[in-house]
């Protein structure tokens, strides 16, 4: 990948006031530019500006290369992680977790609630060798 082509795209992206930091990875025949949007900026407006930059740089890209794709990726981080433990069965712990999940789901603007460690019930069968 021609580093100059990628560098030109980086420079154009850096000129956007809404872009905070840029991180680029170049590998054989492909590149990836990650641009972090400043807090308070409208991601869709920034995406539109980025798409314009890509379209305008098309003439600098190799003729056999597909036009780069721009998209907004929203990184989600856990707000709270809760561990439930006790001297009870796994099923009872999962029942408590489900109850807590139901109560938390009533809070507005939560992206999602996951229960980890949940699994199907298992049956353990031991066999003894038959006598000889």
* Residue-by-residue DSSP string for 105-124: TTSTT-------S-------
Looking at the fold, whether 50 and 9 belong to one and the same domain comes out as yes
When divided into structural domains, the chain yields a total of: 2
Do 31 and 24 meet the contact criterion of CB atoms below 8 Å apart?
A: yes
Question: What are residue 19's DSSP bridge partners?
Answer: 37
Tell me the two tokens of residue 38: 């400043």
CA torsion through residues 8, 10, 11, 15, sign: positive
Looking at the fold, whether 98 and 49 belong to one and the same domain comes out as no
Complete DSSP assignment for 94-109: HHHHHHHHHHHTTSTT
Eight-state DSSP code of residue 33: E
More confident: 120 or 23 = 23
Does residue 40 lie in a domain region?
Answer: yes
Rounded distance, CA 92 to CA 87, Å? 10
In which band, very low, low, confident or very high, does the pLDDT at 132 lie, cut at 50, 70 and 90?
Answer: low
Q: What is the structure's pLDDT at 118?
A: 63
Looking at the fold, whether 82 and 108 belong to one and the same domain comes out as yes
Looking at the fold, whether 47 and 85 belong to one and the same domain comes out as no
Does residue 131 lie in a domain region?
Answer: no
Does residue 28 lie in a domain region?
Answer: yes
Q: What is the structure's pLDDT at 12?
A: 93
Does residue 92 lie in a domain region?
Answer: yes
The residue-averaged pLDDT of 61-81 equals: 81
Of 33, 60, 87, the residue that ends a domain is 60
Helix (H, G, I), strand (E, B) or coil at 53: helix
pLDDT tens per residue across span 86-104 = 899 888 988 999 999 899 8
Q: Structural domain of residue 107, as residue ranges?
A: 78-120
What is the pTM for the complete model shown?
Answer: 0.56
Looking at the fold, whether 15 and 47 belong to one and the same domain comes out as yes
Looking at the fold, whether 18 and 48 belong to one and the same domain comes out as yes
pLDDT tens per residue across span 6-55 = 888 999 999 999 999 999 998 877 889 999 999 899 999 999 999 999 99
């Amino acid at each position: 990948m021609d580093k100059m082509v990628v560098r030109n795209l980086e420079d154009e992206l850096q000129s956007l006031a809404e872009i905070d930091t840029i991180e680029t990875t170049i590998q054989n025949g492909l590149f990836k530019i990650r641009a972090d949007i400043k807090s308070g900026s409208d991601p869709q407006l920034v995406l539109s500006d980025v798409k314009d930059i890509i379209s305008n740089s098309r003439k600098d890209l190799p003729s056999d290369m597909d036009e780069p794709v721009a998209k907004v990726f929203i990184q989600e981080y856990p707000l709270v992680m809760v561990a439930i433990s006790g001297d009870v069965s796994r099923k009872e712990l999962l029942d408590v977790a489900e109850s807590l999940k139901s109560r938390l789901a009533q809070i507005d603007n939560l992206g999602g609630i996951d229960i980890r460690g949940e699994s199907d019930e298992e049956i353990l069968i031991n066999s003894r060798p038959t006598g000889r």
